[in-house]
Structure 1
Amino acid sequence: MTDRAPQPVERRLPTEESRQLVELVRDIVSKEIAPRTAEEEEAGVFPREVFSLLSESGLLGLPYGSAHGGGDQPYEVYLQVLEELAAARLTVGLGVSVHSLACHALAGYGTDDQRAAHLPDMLSGGLLGAYCLSEPASGSDAASLRTKAVRDGDDWVITGTKAWITHGGVADFYTVLARTGVEGARGITAFLVPGDAEGLNAAIPEKKMGMKGSPTAQLHFDGVRVGDDRRIGEEGQGFAIALSALDSGRLGIAACAVGVAQAALDEAVRYATDRRQFGRPIADFQGLRFMLADMATQIEAGRALYLEAARLRDAGQPFSRQAAMAKLFCTDAAMRVTTDAVQVLGGYGYTLDFPAERLMREAKVLQIVEGTNQIQRMVIARHLAGPETR
């Protein structure tokens, strides 16, 4: 079955430019993304040409400054673009979020020379990025990572394995966190590694229950050599850089989750109003009507939560707690909404002929990536009650 473009969501956008931007995204979605989503996801096709088109259209660097090829858009607008993309195909929406995450370290902590040398191609030059923090033995406990970077003259030599890397093996650059000093968070440094670096190899992509078009793979660093000019920030500053990036990245996941949930609700409403049983549309039955109402309410609440966090970020105010709340609520809501959408469609919801089952499978990963929802609860609780006592 060919997926349909998402139903337009009424959006409150701050400028005429941002309204035109969303219209451009909707045009790309309807012509280039939605018609191929079902077929390509089932076949596991990575839509590299879509990311190239998004780059050409100025959509891969939206929240970054125009001086280096970005879109100068507030996070409030960027996240709504992510929602539109994720509603059509999560592989694309999440891919843009990951790319933005990979650019965060250089944009926020790089030198002027580093930004001038690399950001234009990263933001609008057709390159695609990936973010390398997790490892086989350090996921939630990211500060215990084992990948090492050892100084050798004017170079660094990186050795180790990264895991669960979105765009692993297809990215043009990787933002890599590696240990350069003492154990724990204070001994980690960030590096910008070219995708074609000698000694960098990707494993066979993971076989996943959803997002089959998005390659997720381990990366093996076998003595990968990069110059000191590719070190981002100070030695030992990497973990702080990583946490800063994750606060923003969690908002991207929240927006993607709302997009997936909105797509599921749209499909459920279409089916419920078309499907007739006992001589009338099943949307007439109160039990089902209440399900649809609850689904819509969760989506609106999630959207309001991520947008409020984005506005705090845009205003330069602390937003870490709100980002964790948005990621937690929106992804849990997406799981509930997509599960209910399958139920509304009944037996058809369990088949590949309708997108509900795919959306349900895709929603699950959003509760895991960028910090599991259990980690989000820990983050929120620390803001409320302080660190845990030992």
Structure 2
Amino acid sequence: MLDFSLSEEHEDFRKVLKEFSDRELLPNYLANSATTEFPFATLKKMGDLGVLGIGFPERFGGTGEDDPVLLGLATETLAYGDVNLASAPIQVGLVGAQLLHGSDEVQQAYLPRVIAGEINLAIALTEPGSGSDASALRTTATRVPGGWRLSGEKTAISWALSATAALVYAREPGSSRSKGVSCFLVDLASEGVSVRHMRGMGCLVLGWGSINLDSVFVPDSHLVGEEGRGFQVAMNKFDFSRAALGLMCLGAAQQSLEEAAVYATQRETFGKPLSEYQGVTFPLAEHATYVEGARWVCYRALWLRGEGKSHTSLASMGKWWGPLVAKEAIEASMKIFGNLGYSAEFPLQQRFRDVMAYLTADGTAEIQKTIISREIIARGTVSL
């Protein structure tokens, strides 16, 4: 028998986060979105709620039990208030899952502080010549006594401006594709590291930027995972982040639709509220349907991950469809508000610009469709 209900624990946590989102995040969303200064005080409050430690060992301050659905629920609920800060559980989830493959020194130095919301860590994978084809990266890691020397450029890195350190992916000179790529934890205060801001049309507070490495020394203890296998570890983690990012965007869309519905009951034209016109209510109904459908694709992917079952294809479905559905729902909400929807004094236009980033971040729709179609073709080949 199918059961789509949340557990009592999940529902209680959702209520706590919804109250936090309404009280702490939504009123400050526009102000936070207008600056690159990261609100660490708010991040610390998120850490205190336990939202950054989902699935991590208790000895580091985590919840102990791996629960992908709970992480998705947290991300969606926080996005009602601030779609940018809602990405924090996903970022910490990606970073932390990889740090668990690192040395005791690295784990003890960084994991408790990341889970507590005291510091940010960035993931430096994308390069100017390797976006979706991340295995084509050119940053090199050359063996030297006691460690490595890293040289190269990383670009379009979220959290770059506010991060204390970054997980940097670099290859052994002479290697090709994914072979020979290792992951290193690099202190961004190290000699030879420079960070530059890249201003985008949204997500300003996430500190999007480039990281340049000029013969940066990284000690042996800061190798994360097995040498030459960093790329495979990173790709495995993206299956959960893609579904969670879809839910994050859909949370912002749901908040926008609800705001538009309230406005439609208050705004009158030709002597009647907007809510009495099908030209207003039908788009609300249509986009609410799309949002609900996309939500369950994402949640099913996360549920399958929690069950240890294959979910790569569904995660990719949630990643390409979720942000698209969200963008279109927010756009429809802006139209209902009329000229106010375009006004910088209201959050709709900001959500629209912030959600747009996830049409490409973590893999474009075309990349996700390639992943999905490969699985479809593979099934067809087996059945012949």
SS state of the match for residue 204, structure 2?
Answer: coil
Residues 40 and 117 of structure 2 are in contact (CA less than 8 Å); yes or no, is this contact kept in structure 1? no
**Counterpart code for 1:88:** G
| Candidates 258, 267, 272, aligned match of 2:264 | 272
Q: Whole-Å Cα distance in 1 between the matches of residues 8 and 56 of structure 2?
A: 17
1:104 aligns with 2:80: no
Write the deviation string for residues 182-235 of structure 1: whole angstroms up to 9, x where unpaired. 1111121111222322322211x2221112222100011122211112112222
Change (3 A) 1:349 1:117: closer
Aligned-partner SS, 1:226: strand
Match of 2:70 in 1: 77
**Is residue 2:112 matched to residue 1:159?**
no
Compared CA separation, residues 103 and 274, structure 1 to 2 (3 A) = same
Supply the distance in 2 between the matched residues of 1:355 and 1:84 (Cα, whole angstroms). 17
Contact 1:146–1:178 (Cα < 8 Å) also in 2: yes
Change (3 A) 1:270 1:45: farther
Aligned length: 374
Taking the aligned partners of 1:334 and 1:325, their CA distance within structure 2 comes to 14
1:48 corresponds to which letter in structure 2? Answer: F
Q: Is residue 2:8 matched to residue 1:22?
A: no
Corresponding residue to 2:223 among 212, 228, 231: 231
Candidates 58, 61, 66, aligned match of 1:66: 58
Equivalences for residues 45-194 of structure 1 within 5 A = 45-71=37-63, 72-107=65-100, 109-110=101-102, 115-116=107-108, 118-124=110-116, 126-181=118-173, 182-194=175-187
Identical aligned pairs, as a percentage?
29
Which residue, out of 362, 370, 375, partners 1:378?
Answer: 370
Q: Report the secondary structure of 1:176's partner residue.
A: strand
- 8 Å CA contact 1:129, 1:173 repeated in 2: yes
Structure 1: runs of 5 or more not aligned: 1-10
Given that residues 46 and 117 in structure 2 are in contact (C-alpha distance below 8 angstroms), is that contact kept between their aligned partners in structure 1? no
Distance 2:284 2:22 in 1: 25
> Which ranges of 4 or more aligned residues in structure 1 deviate by more than 4 Å?
111-114
- Equivalent in the alignment of 1:13: 6
Bigger shift: 157-166 or 97-106? Answer: 97-106
Give the superposed CA RMSD. Answer: 2.0
Amino acid of the structure 1 residue aligned with 2:193: L
- Unmatched 5+ stretches in structure 2: 380-384
Distance, in Å, in 2 between the alignment partners of 1:292 and 1:187 is: 50
**Cα separation, 1, equivalents of 2:36 and 2:13:** 29
Q: 1:68, 1:184 → 2: CA distance?
A: 34
Q: Secondary structure of 2:203's match?
A: coil
Which of the numbers 306, 324, 330 marks the counterpart of 2:316?
A: 324
Query: Quick check: 2:55–2:62 contact (8 Å CA) kept in 1?
Result: yes
Amino acid at match of 1:168: A
Q: Kindly tell me: are residues 287 and 31 of structure 1, through their superposed partners in 2, closer, same or farther at Cα, counting changes over 3 Å?
A: closer
- Residue 232 of structure 2 is matched in structure 1 by 240
Task: Look up the match of 1:6.
Answer: none
Deviates further, 141-150 or 65-74: 65-74
- After TM superposition, give the deviation of residue 315 of structure 1 in Å: 0.6
Rounded Cα–Cα distance in structure 2 between residues aligned with 1:375 and 1:361 = 22
Cα displacement string for residues 143-182 of structure 1 (whole angstroms, at most 9, x for unaligned residues): 1101111111221111111111111021122111111251
* TM-score normalised by length of structure 2: 0.92
2:382 corresponds to:
none
Deviates more, 1:119-128 or 1:275-284: 119-128
> Is it true that 1:210 corresponds to 2:211 in the alignment?
no
Distance 1:358 1:119 in 2: 32
Q: Pick one of 322, 345, 352 that aligns with 2:344.
A: 352
The CA deviation at 1:58 is 2.1
Name the TM-score, length of structure 1 as normaliser: 0.90
Query: Residue 186 of structure 1 aligns to a residue in which SS?
Result: coil
Contact 1:157–1:224, Cα closer than 8 Å, also in 2: yes
Distance 1:110-1:43 versus aligned 2 partners, 3 A rule: closer
Task: Confirm or deny that 1:305 pairs with 2:283.
Answer: no
Q: Match for residue 281 of structure 1? A: 273
Q: Is the 8 A contact 2:26 2:80 kept in 1?
A: no
State the distance in 1 between where 2:55 and 2:122 align: 17
Q: Secondary structure at the match of 2:186?
A: strand
String of CA shifts for 1:16-56, please: whole Å, max 9, x gaps: 3x333223322322332221112232345432221122123
Change in Cα spacing, 1:213 to 1:122, as seen in structure 2 (3 Å) is closer
